[in-house]
Structures are given as structure tokens and as C-alpha cells.
Structure 1
Amino acid sequence: MTADVTPTRRRYAKSAVTRDRILDAARDLFAERGFRSVSLRDIAGAADLSHPGVQRHFRTTADILDAVVARLESDNERWLEETGRMDDGEAMLPALARHNAATPGYVELFTVLAGEATAIGHPAHARMRDRYADLRARSREGLDVDDGAAASLAAVSDGLQLISLYDPRIDVGGELEAYLGWRRTGATGSSTPVPPGSVDETGAQALARLVGDESGYATGRARRAALVEAATAHFAANGFHDASLREIADAAGMAKSTLLHHFSSKDELLAAVLVHRDRRVAELYGANPDASGVEQLRGAVEGARRNAGEPGLVEVYAVLSSEASSASHPAHDYFRRRFDAARAGFAAEFADARAAGATRADLDSARAALWTIALWDGLQWQWLYDRDAIDVPALLSRTIEGMLTTA
């Protein structure tokens, strides 16, 4: 009996090692390129296996993605139980953030997936939607907060993880501790991230330079506009890597050669999409540069309300900002510059509000700016998964108004 069982155990052990190798390779590829642009052959090559060798364990890339996510979530559950953090209330979120940051590939994968899987047809859409519902439920129970506060806590955590991939100086666990402390006492404490410096050129300005001006014949401008609209929809649905130039051209009713006449590469088309989005958001936001810091901060809430009326703009931002968190992505520098500029802008608005006596005297403007941006981005992800449960403008207003107090 022993002689028969031992070889079987060895085969199981060898199979488990191979599965782990496949999942490790897939995790890294999904984090770098997104799910849709990774094939079984890509995973096989990264795992140093043959294509049939991978298929002996997993039939499709969707099966592999499900296994990768399930393994990471199972590891988290086990860690929470073993460390007694499950019922640790306020201390759980920062501790879990530090644990995730130390887990290879966790933050990178879930950041990409959170944005990419907002598309309803994505194989991880239902899992991510349910995951957010579970996170909100745990926060409600563990911290004894209402639905809005639970959603905001999950949003700040996600947003901080996203921004940290563009600025590794951010200590996500430390920021979560400070944010929870502010909710309890009203004090922000001293900022741990290095405050953003002046930005010579924003991401939008850099891309506008790349794309060039919009002069030329009306027909050419109309074709470029149609291609940008089609590309925006495709990037929102499929991400950048898996979007096909031929499919984009077909959606715009043009030949691929016509597309390449107006945009010499997919990178240039991506630049045009981002410039278009920034211009459209600026039109919706309607910011007044002469407004006070308090007025501008409250105006951001109105901007969030207008964004909800054009979900396509939110979708393409959610997908591309998460996908571009990989340093190899062609839009990585754009979003890095954009986050720097946004942090600098919000910090200036909070500083102006503090100088006007509209906030506590000890409000740290750089930290308040970071939390506000993290909250907004994280809430938009949750909204794309459950539009009935999440009211982005209301929750954003609740936090901003909580900072605009002298109590």
C-alpha cells in the first residue's frame, strides 16, 4: 500500500509545483499587461512550459486568472486568521495594506484588475463586484460605520495603492492609519509622502505636444474625431494592449490605412484619446481659476457629478490609469505627471482654504490632497461595478466638507 501511495503523492506534489509556477508567471503577466492581452502561450513561455503543458492544468486564461485571484484571496484570509487581524477593527486595514505590499505581485495585479474588470464582459467582473460588496460589509461590521463610510474606506485604500504605483514614496499602510485617525479625531498629522513639487509640464500638455494641433481640412478633423471616439470606447472595454487598430478603424467606418494616415501608431492614438478626455473633463468641470480654494474644492464635487453623466469618460480613465500603473505602459508617464499635477493643485486649494480659516489650523494640505484624489479614484471604480450602491459626488462631498471644518 505504501509503495502505491508514495508515487501518487509525488505526482500530486510535482503537479502542485507546476501549477504554482504557472500561476506565478500569469500573475506577473496580468499585472504588467492586463488580462486580455495575455495568451496561454505567453504564460507557457514565462513559466518555461509547453502550451499543452499549461493546458494539462488550466483550460483557458480565464481559468488561470480565477485561480490566481483565488490563491491571493485565500492567502489573505489565512493571514488574517493566523494573525488575529480579522476582528481587529481599525488596525486591520493598515495591517492588511502592509501585508499586501509585501506580497509579490498583489498590489500590481489587483490594481490592474480593478480597472480592467469594470467592463461587464470581463471574466473577473462578477468576482470584483462581489469583492467590493464584501469589503464594504466587513468595514461596516468591523468598524461600525455606515454604508458610505465603508465605501469610502475601501476607496481610499484602493486609490492609495494605485497612486503608490506611480509614486513609490507613498506608504499606503501609514496613510490609511492617518486617514482613520483623521476620521476619529479630525487631525491629519504630518504628511509622510514628499509633497508634490511644481510641475513644469502636465501629462495633458506633454501629450498635446505629441499629438500636435488640430488644424487642417474639416474632413480630416472629423475623421480624427471619429477615430478618437472609437478608440476611447475600445480602450475602455479592452484596455490599451488588447485593442486592435483594425477593429477601431472598423468601428469608425474607415480602413486601417486611413487610421494610420491620421495616427502613425497605437501609442499616438492613445495620446489623442487621453488629450480628448482631459479636454472633455475640463469642459464638464468648468473650473474658475479665480475661485477661492474652498470654492474650487466644492467645485470638484460638481465635476464628479457631471462625470457621472458621461460614464465613457470614467470608464476609459479607470481602465487606462490602472493598466498604465506598469512602468512599461506607454501612458505611464502621462498618468504619473497627471497625479503629480492633481496633488499639487488640490494641495494648493487646501492650503488656501486653511489660510482663509476654513479648515483646522493643523490640516496638512499635501496629505488632504492625496486622500481626496485616492478617494475619488477608488469611488469611481466601485461605481462602475455597482452604480446603484455608490454615489460618488455625495461621498466625495462628505469627505471634503469634513476637511473644511475648524472644529
Structure 2
Amino acid sequence: MTIRPVVLDPAGHDIHAEGARIRAGGPVSRVVLPGGVMAWSVTGHDVARQVLGDHRFSKDPRKHWTDFVEGRIGDDFPMIGWVLMENLTTAYGHDHTRLRRPCAQAFTPRRVEALRGSVQKVTDELLGRLDEVAPGEAVDLKAEFAKPLPAAVICDLFGVPAADRQAMLHGGEVNVDTGITPEEAAANVAAWQRLMLDFVRSKRDHPGDDLTTDLVAARDEDGSPLSDSEMVGTLHIMLATGTEPVKNLIANTVLLLLTHPDHLARVARGELSWPDVIQEAVRVEAPVAHLPFRFATEDVEIGGVTIAKGDPVLMNFAAAGRDPDRYGPDADVFDPGRADREHLSFGAGIYRCIGKPLALMEAEIALPALFERFPGMRPAVPADRIEPQGTFIMNGLRNLPVLLKGGGAS
């Protein structure tokens, strides 16, 4: 029986149900992107690990997306923002190594550990503001805690002035919105690039003690600096990935614990550790759901199919984290006590997320502090009324209304 390709829902109404439909076609299956573009989605855990480590899959559309190179994909493609950037998400081979090296140096264990005090300070400040919320008053915990925490940390790290932060982070938020028009996507990329380029030039003129200044000073093997477009692209990806996935990680974990009070009680009794809870939350609710793009550099037989040279491939981390072939029949269940919590939600190998150690540290500081400060926290509305983020790229919540000091869902 031939299974028809799944047309991806741009609004991401039900990431997991869609992932299950795609998985029904096998660990690698056809999907239809916005604009009617055909692609492959990798939903199987083991196959996803293979793809992540296979040099026959490139991330560079300029070299390896046949339809783009030959002009069949143009500026009217709704996801053009994921094609036009020059950074780690669109680099292959030596270029990927060259661009990754200065970023990776910023997230060594020593440097990440040195940020612990800053993360704790921001956490305490945000909790102090939440303390001022009146009992019985609902608050959007995503907007007031899960988002501003990583945003402040990553912007401090890269030296982004407070007055510019909202605008510089907004471009990343728009870029993961798969419901925007091609015109909106192209306009966002153009505005985002202008803003970032102005920022880079200001750092060249006025260096500081920050990672943007370090990137400006970075040189490759022949002594060449990053180009303007590479600097802009690198800032795009570092600011966006330093904020978007982390806010989803925190908000998703809060909702999981509020809807699984038995697990929350076990954490309070010391029967479950916070790292175990967070890793299981990242497995079952991968913060990045469906990441574009990779491109086959030759015909590749994998997962029972042949991916033709030049075909685009998406990594379906949300589906891979719930693969019953890996995790068993209860793969959809949030169980921090399960034996196998290993996952690919942060990637793997040379494509492992550079910011993973910082993201985990932020969650491991923020979540215990939040639940200790507000032990009576409850959802302000029934969980099934909390809407998804509205994209198939990210797996998050549009908002997270809670009552911090008593009360409960109606």
C-alpha cells in the first residue's frame, strides 16, 4: 500500500499526531512543505542518528539543493529564511567546521560554568517580579519567566544592548513561524540582517567583553575573518537557538509537571532528580520539533527508502523522541523514572547543539527555583485549552497561564 505524503500543518496544531502520521510511512517518509515543496521527514530514532552522522547529508542549499541551485525554488518559497542565512544551519564540510569553531569555544564547560552566577541572578530577578503577582491573578509564565530568562542570558553573553534586544530576538521568532507568507519571510530576513549588520559594525568600532567581539576578532586557518554575512548569520543562529528552544524546554517541563503532580511530588521527596526530569521532558517534548534542512549529496538508501541526490530532508526530533521502536509502547508517556531517557533532541555528533550545556544549566537552575518559590502553582486554565506555539518547526506553547499562589484550573 502506498502512503500519501503528509502535508505539514503550517500552524502546528498537533505536532505529535502529525508525527505519528508521518511515522506510519516508515522511519523516513515523504512530506509536503509550505509552497507545495516535497521533502523527507526522518521520524525514526535510529535512522535519525544515522542521518546526523552521515557525511552524505549536507546543510548547504547553495551547493546541494538541486531545485534551489537550478532556480526552481525562489524567493517566493515560504521558508526562504532557512535558505538565505550563512551560518551553521546552512554550512557543510569545512565551512561548517570553520563556522562552528569560534562558537564552540564560547561554550566550553569552563565558560558555561562561569555563567552559573549570571543565570542564578536573572532567575532570582524574574522570580522577584513574579512574587508581586497578586494571589488568584493569572500570569503567562512563558512570557514572564521561560522567555526572558534565556533571552537575558544569551543577550548578555553576546553584548546586545538592552534597548535592541526585543528587535534582534524578534527576527528569530518570526523565522520559525511556518504560517507566514513568502513576502513576510523575505521582509523579516532583510530587516533582521540590516539590524544584525549594524550591530556587528558597532562592535567593530566599539569592542567589548562579549562573544560578538570575540567573533569579530576570530580568524580561520589562513588568517581571514568571518565575512559580514557569516557574522550576521552566526548571530542569527546563536541568539535564536539561545532563546527559542530554551524557553520551550522550560515552559514544556513546567506544564508536564503541573499535569503530572505525582512526578512533581516524587521530585519534592527526592525520589527523582531534576536532571532526570528535564532529560525526559526534552525527550517526550522536544523543544525543536521539525528542523530544516539537510540535502542528500548523492542518492542515499536509508530507512527503507532511497533519498535522491538534492532532495531536502527534515529532522523530526519530536517524532524521534517518541519512536516506539526505540522507547516501547509507552513512548508517548512522560516518565522521568524510565530507564532509557537518551534522546536526539539536541542533535548528535558534529551537529550536536553547541548551546546544550548552557540550556540544561538554565533549566536546572530555573525549574527548581520556580517550584520552590511557588509550591502551590496550578494551571489557570484546563491543560487542553493551552494552545501550541503555531509552527511545525518548534514544539512549544503559545502561552502558559498559571496561578502562582493557589487556585486551580476551572
With structure 2 as the length reference, what TM-score do the two structures score? 0.30
Bigger share in strand: 2
Bigger share in helix: 1
Larger Rg: 1
Q: Which has the higher contact order (CA 8 A, sep 6+)?
A: 2
With structure 1 as the length reference, what TM-score do the two structures score? 0.31
